[in-house]
Each structure stands twice: as C-alpha cells, then as structure tokens.
Amino acid sequence: MKRSMLLGATLLASTALFAAAPASAATKFEFWYGLSGDLSERIQDMCKTFNASQTDYEIVCVSQDNYDNNLQNTIAAFRANKQPTITQIFDAGTLDLMLSNAYVPVRQLMEENGYQIDWSNYFSGIASYFSTSKGELLSMPFNSSTAQIYYNTDALAKVGFEGIPETWSQVEDVARKMKAAGYDCPVAFDPAGAWQWFEQFEAVHNQPIATNGNGFEGLNAEMVVSKGKFVDQLTWIKKMYDEGLFVHKSKDAGETANDAFVNGKCQITSSSVADHGTFGKQAKEGVHWTNAMLPLLDGFSRTNSLVGGASLWTLKGKSAEEYKGAAAFYAFLATPEQAEWWSTVTGYIPVTNTGFEAMKAKGFYDAAPYKGRELAIASLTATPPTENSRGIRLGNYASIRAEMVKTIQAVLFNNVPVQQALEEFDAKGNEILRRFEATYAGQELL
C-alpha cells in the first residue's frame, strides 16, 4: 500500500516532469532503502531533486522501513532476479554483501561510466569500512554517522561540573553527584545499544573485537572480546546499574533512552550523531543539552571511532543504461550542494574532506542547531584508522551484535558474572563465524 502510494507519487512527479520536457523516455531504475519516517521523506525529496535535475534517468525510490527488512527483501528480490539497481545496506551487513558476488564495485561502476572521482577525498575511517583490505571502495558511502555522548548541561551545572566529562570516571563522578542532587536517572542505558556502548568503545580504545584485524585479513577470525578492556567496562556498567546510576530505558520498558533524555528525565545518554537533529527538535522546553565525543578510560588516548549508518550497493544483473543512471545518481549525491543539504536536513555527517571543509568555511558548525556535529568528524578522524578501528568485517555480524545485546542483558538483569558472560559471547560469536566460513568455503576475502 505504502509502496504503491510512493510509486504513485513518483509517477505523478515524473509525469509532471515529462509534461515540462517532452524528451525521449527516461531510463527508470529502482533504489531501495531502509529508512522510514522523517528520513524517508528526505530521501524522497532527494529523489525528486535528482529526477528534476536531468531528463535521461528516472530513479524510483522505495522505502522498506528498516535496514533488516531492506536486506531481507533485497536478497529475496535478487534470488528472484527482480532486484533494484541500488540498495542501502547497514554497516553490520557489509561482509555479507562483499561475499555475495551480487554487486558491482562502485569504483568500477564510476570508471566505466566516465566519472572521475577522487576517492582519497573520502574520510579514511569511512572509506576503510566499505573497502577491500587493499583499499578499493566497494559501495558508495551514503548516510554516515558515529557515536556520541549527550549531556544535559543544566544537570552538569547543578552538580558543579566545569566543562564536559571526558573520561568514564568523570561520568561516574557526575552521575553519583546527580543522584545525590535528586536526579532519578543520571544515565539512560539500553542494552540494545551495543553499537555505541560496545563496538565504539572497542574502537576508541583501540581494542580488537576479533583476531585478523576484526576479520579484515580472513574469514577464520576469532572473537577476543573476553580478553580485552570491555570486561572492565561491562563490570563498571553493571556496578553503575546496580547503584541506580545507569537506568534501564528501552522500548519494552515503556520509554526509550533517547526519549527519556529529551524529556529531561535522564541526564546523560549515548547515541548516534544522526540523532543530533532529532534531539534539537524534540528536546522539551527548558532542556539544555550538548554532545561530546565518547569518554575514555583513564590512561587511554583516543583512537578514531567507527563509522555507522549505511552505504549504497549497486547490484548485478541490470542493463548498461541502468548502471549509467546509478552512476549519475552517485555523482549527483557527491555534488557539494547535495552533500550539504543531506547533512543539514538529517544530521548525518558529510563523507568527504572537501564537503566538510566547505561547510566549516561557511560557518555551518558555528551556531545552533548544527553546532556540535563537527565533533562527530573529529571523533571519526581522531587518528588514522588502526587495525581495530577501520571497521568490523565479520560474517553475519548482525547476529553477533544481537548476541552482545543478550549478553549485556544477562549481566545486568540476571547477574551472570561478566567474565563468564563474555566468554560465552565469544564462543557463540565463534560458532556464527565458523558457520559463515563454512557457507563461503573456498572464498577469499578481497
């Protein structure tokens, strides 16, 4: 229903276009994406702008509601040879795509269609996530984000903290003072946020999640989470939870961590920088907040954080004309105006150095509501990507992430000892990895 309405809308838009310019029939191609609500509307705007900007191609953009659905539907469509030309795949699905043999590498696509793209212009932390280990970019960086921590500045001021906490021990300190000052919920915590609380923690502390450089060097990587710093961190989170300094907030509990933060009920939360815009719009009257880079453990210096979000994959089995259209669409996305518009209306970060510099020069980041978003870039580019921070290249990683959510829940709610819980997590992760390795037996990582 929704889909046919969207199709109808695009058809209407395109007929209007044809009426204006009765040119030869445009080549149509489909783009499936996994965003909904406000973000979906913005993508529809983007598609309309693209269709209006030229007459050779017509992109039909279809929302599949969320990343999971989009991946499932894309796979089903691909198996039935009805796949879209472009599909949006989330970070955790990158290796699943890489081995699928179902895509055209973006570098090859752009070259074959005569576009000169300066690939080194892309932020190295973003490019490395979606590239082969030799540095060839396979998919087009699209909506990129990274994790941030958000503070209620009034609550910080009330407990007399100068500036912004930069280490977890400072966070503990202010959380304890906030509790004493009468705040029920100093830190909102949702175990489902394994991405910000676990993966990003490992990256900024330069800790490996798996051997082989988080899987970049081969499918026989093994999980090593129970041997690293996350053991201490989860132990700390458990302690904070038991003291009531971290408060469980989730959809199941009746209120999400983000909602609790913008309503002023919780004073600290961690989330994607993509929520920066949403927080700005939703923050209740009188709630003042700011964002910052993720805190560190004492004695650590910052390594770059991981890029989150999704990238665009071009699928095999389409006509040369459709590929020309896809290349034109990517080139359109990379124009400075378009990059800036996308970053402004969503909160996702610009993906190229020049895009970021241009926005900075225009003073985009100097004042509210966009001030603070530059910290995401600072976090992503804090260091050149290391073996542990260039990305996660593990098979069926979405399942492994789900296991981490269960692990954190087991520690918090059922008092499973941290070391034991993480060893079980590693064992389950290894099972998933071995199964993936067997499914793609004989294939080499690019």
Partner 1 sequence: MERRAYYRNGWLPWLLIGPQLILVLVFFYWPTTQALYWAFTLEQPWGGGNTWVGLDNFLAIFRDREYWTTVVRSAFYAIVTTGLSMTVALTLAAFVDRSLKGTRFFQSVYVWPYAIAAPAAGVAFRFIFAPESGLIGSINAIWPGIWNPAINGFHALAMVIVCHAWLGIGYNFIFFLAALQMIPRSITEAGAMDGARPFQRLIDLQLPLIAPTAFFLLIMNLISSFTDSFGLIDVMTEGGPIGQTEVMVYKIYFDGFKGLDYSGAAAQSIVLMLLVIGLTFVQFKWVERRVHYN
Minimum gap (Å) between residue 254 Cβ and partner 1: 4
Distance CA 4, CA 414 (A): 46
Q: Which tokens in the block code for residue 139?
A: 């998919």
Q: Which tokens in the block code for residue 272?
A: 């994607």
Minimum gap (Å) between residue 446 Cβ and partner 1: 15
* Residue closer to partner 1 (CB basis): 344 or 409: 409
Minimum gap (Å) between residue 445 Cβ and partner 1: 15
Q: Are 185 and 258 in contact (CB under 8 A)?
A: no
Minimum gap (Å) between residue 102 Cβ and partner 1: 5
Residue 194 identity (one-letter amino acid): A
Minimum gap (Å) between residue 411 Cβ and partner 1: 10
Minimum gap (Å) between residue 305 Cβ and partner 1: 25
* Residue closer to partner 1 (CB basis): 110 or 432: 432
Distance CA 328, CA 318 (A): 15
Sign, CA torsion 424/425/429/430: negative
Helix (H, G, I), strand (E, B) or coil at 388: coil
Residue 360 identity (one-letter amino acid): K
* Residue closer to partner 1 (CB basis): 333 or 405: 405
268 CB-contact burial (10 Å; exposed 0-12 / middle 13-18 / buried 19+): buried
* Residue closer to partner 1 (CB basis): 154 or 242: 242
Distance CA 365, CA 374 (A): 6
Angle at 349 between CA 446 and CA 388, to 5 degrees: 40
Q: What is the DSSP letter of 373?
A: T
- As a dihedral over the C-alpha atoms of residue 131, residue 135, residue 138, residue 139, rounded to 10 degrees, the angle is 60
Minimum gap (Å) between residue 409 Cβ and partner 1: 4
Strands 140-145 and 308-315: antiparallel
Helix (H, G, I), strand (E, B) or coil at 152: strand
Minimum gap (Å) between residue 261 Cβ and partner 1: 15
* Residue closer to partner 1 (CB basis): 166 or 431: 431
| Helix (H) or strand (E) segment spanning residue 103 | strand 103-104
Angle at 401 between CA 396 and CA 407, to 5 degrees: 135
* Residue closer to partner 1 (CB basis): 336 or 417: 417
Q: Are 175 and 185 in contact (CB under 8 A)?
A: no
Q: Are 421 and 220 in contact (CB under 8 A)?
A: no
Residues of this chain that interact with partner 1 (CB under 8 A) are 68, 72, 75, 78-79, 96, 99-102, 248, 250, 252-255, 396, 398-399, 402, 405-406, 409-410, 412-414, 432, 435, 438-441
Distance CA 115, CA 158 (A): 55
Residue 74 identity (one-letter amino acid): T
Distance CA 161, CA 44 (A): 44
C-alpha closest to that of 282 among 37, 118, 26, 17: 37
* Residue closer to partner 1 (CB basis): 248 or 371: 248
* Residue closer to partner 1 (CB basis): 169 or 439: 439
* Residue closer to partner 1 (CB basis): 234 or 339: 234
Minimum gap (Å) between residue 432 Cβ and partner 1: 7
Minimum gap (Å) between residue 70 Cβ and partner 1: 12
Integer-rounded Cα Rg, in Å, for the chain is: 22
* Residue closer to partner 1 (CB basis): 66 or 133: 66
* Residue closer to partner 1 (CB basis): 110 or 412: 412
Q: Are 145 and 349 in contact (CB under 8 A)?
A: yes
Minimum gap (Å) between residue 252 Cβ and partner 1: 4
